[in-house]
Structure 1
């Protein structure tokens, strides 16, 4: 049996949630007369090791597009099926984010404006009050409250007409035609609107928080709530309280085209509360009702109803809110793989450049933007902004080209900052990698975008090798059965963090690596937002 180099960390990795951030400090080994030979040997070892990792049974029957390139030296360290077009899942967000930074600019902000149809100088709007959105994904309940307070501070105390929502900056196509209809209730497939509510600090748009707490005794109703609750939503609570130690079966669903939420199942007496996210139908209406409640709390009385309307010419601006800058909004978008943000960015690019807030108009802006950046993505097929569509196709070499090209952009630092960091337990740093590669040379080192759909998994980004060499890598797995092969992806990333052209090969006991000992990240909670880009129930 030929002697093989043992992979020091990847053979026995057991990934746990990191409890503190750690920085991997690179050291440089002085060059010697044998450097060139050592470099060739080290590169051969790296290629053999990655080949062995990809032989993992988890990838039986799958196609893996893999490419590793040195950004420091400019050479290719490894490649397999890198020219094959594959479904990227949420790796498509790399494309969307780069295009948006080019087209919209890192300082771009979304504007939400309140208009009075008639002059409100006497404190009364004799007519309708309008709220106009342009897609701000950061409109939390608190943000609506601040906007309402600004209306009150302007002197407006009464509106004789209606409160009307103007969402015409985007079209009224709420769901992408490629998306699975069965995904509609779940947060990762929320409807897209130019006026929407972010239900939490993760800035999940077009959804409500659902909570359920067991009742005081067996057989009592569970305490179920939607937040933010508004007059356009209703809850039919059929959930109960089961025996202590029993199984949790509670669920909350709404039928397509309706905002009637029905809670069923049960929670065990004395058990933990249940929480999840569920989408709303017509997020514009929900946002308008949230704003109506905020106006009432601010002391502004609206005599009419809540509805839709287009801001008329000559309306008076009463209040305005600007979102955080795009460079900062990339953090929740990329760290948490927020699908809604990706679609908002696509429609915003269309609205700003062509006056059409549609998927079609926005997608026409992507390829020219990537050309300007210098990324070679000639084989790209992009259907949406988030990667939820299976109509998206890209080559690993295209992803790698993008990762390389963006480094020369003035917004490169913001781009890098937005990527999840391996093993960092801070949600807004580690993101979807916070539970992966902790306690390895990749922790605090690897910055990469994840991607998950049924039978599709991806991890692409950057790693610093052991001697300080900067590497970029793209891993796209298609057609695997069972769970996503995150252990395989992590083992490759860890191996890249260990790589050195100058260090001698290991003298450890000969062994073949087959990847079976690499454990995946611990399961996230099987409700709400976990490390997947979709719900566990749908295994998406």
Structure 2
């Protein structure tokens, strides 16, 4: 094949092969990780969201029916495999120039007229309902090359997680880790080295802290108990009182939509996201007291290590005089952001929003998280007109973003001036291969996007959204967002969104 069609074939073949390579790694890790993911968000939730008004986001599942743990290499490996052609100059389009030049903006830029001709019939299709909005940005220049209602704020559903991750990375950096600590409270007449009477398990807001025997790269409550017990026994303490501290977070632990199976109470201390059933492959019942449960599990692990906890475990706030005995740390923030985006993890999203607030010294409640998320994005120079971040996960229908904000976020993450934001791109699911896009892009209309489209999905009852990046047939990296907030058939709406993204993939525009 020659001409533009030949270039399209080379791009497709190379990128698809890279994505398959990444999938092999991801599937192996998923199979080993156990029967549930962090949010318990799989295909069953799509049906639930479609049937239950006000239910949680319905776009959460993994490609193999099993989780990728926080910090697992396959997410980054898979992303690198798909993005490598853009960054390493490995492709050779018909012009003879490498993909490095294409990524730098020397491939043909799409035109507004051509994009309008290609996209508008789909945006006006019955599947998306009235008022669907769109934005397409040339990642090389940061300029919007097509917009339809791009400045109109809409309910984003889970695509708001792109904003949540960007804000957290911008203020904390990709190497930040969330600490869970154990401190000793001094007893009356306490002397250095004497055994303490009480210790306090202090939550730092890590929702990936696990009580499971196989930590799978997460911070382990068992490891924390082992280190704590070793230190206590060195001081001669074989019996101890235990309290737990959740004061890092403020305000109500309940999400505005109320108790649900898609999100645990938002607290600074929990294990395994408060799930009561770790064997389920879909939404799971959540504990109403995840902090207490985590502390009681910690007490059992201490007993296994020869330190008995005396009396009931209770809530308390550690004092300034408390001495740190041990700590464990989460996977790096970069890995948490990737996991949140790939699997649309609501618990991680709400935790990251609060970490953004804590970094600013603000109250870590819903209001503080919204305020500091907005401030962090404002410092990046992003268009925030009409934006609301009522939560970090997108479960709250009070959230509002514009299509232009989403593409601006993605373009900023692709810019060489902001390498700290790159996990926002590498965490995006790969069409047909990973995360919430694993089971999509199967129809002939969407096939061209398989392995080429990377995008965050969003699904609430009547709301379907998609935002991400795609390599056009000319080798141009485009950021796109499509928001529909009046859909009646989620299956048709999703297939239309996939068709839109795939149209960009095969468009020599």
TM-score range (shorter-chain normalised) is 0.7 to 0.9
Tell me the alpha carbon deviations over residues 409-447 of structure 1, each in whole angstroms, 9 at most, x when there is no partner.
Answer: 1213322111111122xxxxx211122225833222211
Aligned match of 1:138: 208
3-state SS, counterpart of residue 181 of structure 2:
strand
Alignment partners' CA distance in 2, 1:56 and 1:206: 41
Cα distance 1:107–1:41, how it changes in 2: closer, same or farther (>3 A)? closer
Return the match for 1:326 from 330, 333, 338.
333
Q: Which residue of 2 aligns with 1:495?
A: 503
Q: Which has the higher strand share?
A: 1
Indicate if the aligned counterparts of 1:112 and 1:322 stay in contact, CA closer than 8 A.
yes
Match of 2:55 in 1: none
Structure with bigger gyration radius:
1
Give the secondary structure class of the aligned counterpart of 1:349: helix
Match of 1:127 among 180, 197, 202: 197
Match of 1:100 in 2: 168
Partner of 2:249: 170
Q: Could you tell me whether the CA contact under 8 Å between 1:101 and 1:326 is conserved in 2?
A: yes
Give CA-to-partner distance per residue, 1:196-225, whole Å, 9 cap, x none. 112xxxxxx12222559xxxxxxxxxxxxx
Of residues 408, 417, 426, the one that matches 2:426 is: 417
User: By how many angstroms is 1:79 displaced?
Assistant: 2.3
Q: How many Å separate the matches in 2 of 1:446 and 1:121?
A: 62
Most deviating of 103-112 and 91-100: 103-112
Which of residues 2, 14, 28 is equivalent to 2:93? 28
Q: How far apart in 2 are the matches of 1:21 and 1:163?
A: 45
Contact 2:170/2:376 (CA < 8 Å) preserved in 1? yes
Deviation, 1:493, is 1.0
1:332-343 alignment runs, 5 A limit: 332-343=339-350
Map of 1:376 onto structure 2: 383
- Report the TM-score, using the length of structure 2 for normalisation: 0.72
Q: Per-residue CA shift, 1:104-152, capped at 9, x if unaligned?
A: 2222211111112247999984421210011012211141111111112
Aligned length: 401
Question: How far 1:78 sits from its partner (Å)?
Answer: 3.0
Q: What is residue 149 of structure 2 aligned with on the other side?
A: 81
1:432 pairs, out of 413, 421, 436, with 436
Q: Structure 1: which 5+ residue stretches go unaligned?
A: 1-7, 10-17, 32-38, 199-204, 213-273, 425-429, 502-540
2:93 is paired with a residue whose SS is coil
Q: Structure 1 residue 340: deviation in Å?
A: 1.4
| Alpha carbons 1:126, 1:160 under 8 Å: kept | no
Structure 1 range deviating more: 66-75 or 138-147? 66-75
Task: Give the secondary structure class of the aligned counterpart of 1:48.
Answer: helix
Match of 1:231 in 2: none
- Structure-1 residue corresponding to 2:367: 360
Do the aligned partners of residues 440 and 20 (structure 1) sit closer, same or farther apart at CA in structure 2, a change above 3 Å counting? farther
- 2:292 is matched with which residue? 285
- Could you tell me whether the CA contact under 8 Å between 1:89 and 1:457 is conserved in 2? yes
In structure 2, the residue corresponding to 1:365 is in which secondary structure? helix
Report the alpha carbon displacement of residue 392 of structure 1 after superposing the two structures with TM.
0.8
Inter-partner Cα distance in structure 2 for 1:137 and 1:29: 48
- Consecutive unaligned residues of structure 2, counting only runs of 5 or more, are 1-7, 10-18, 24-80, 86-90, 97-107, 213-219
Alignment CA distance shift 1:73-1:385 (3 Å) = closer
After TM superposition, the structure 1 stretch with the greater mean CA deviation from structure 2, 41-50 or 161-170, is 41-50
The change in CA–CA distance for 1:293 and 1:121 in structure 2 (over 3 A counts) is farther
Distance in 1 of aligned mates of 2:384 and 2:114 = 30
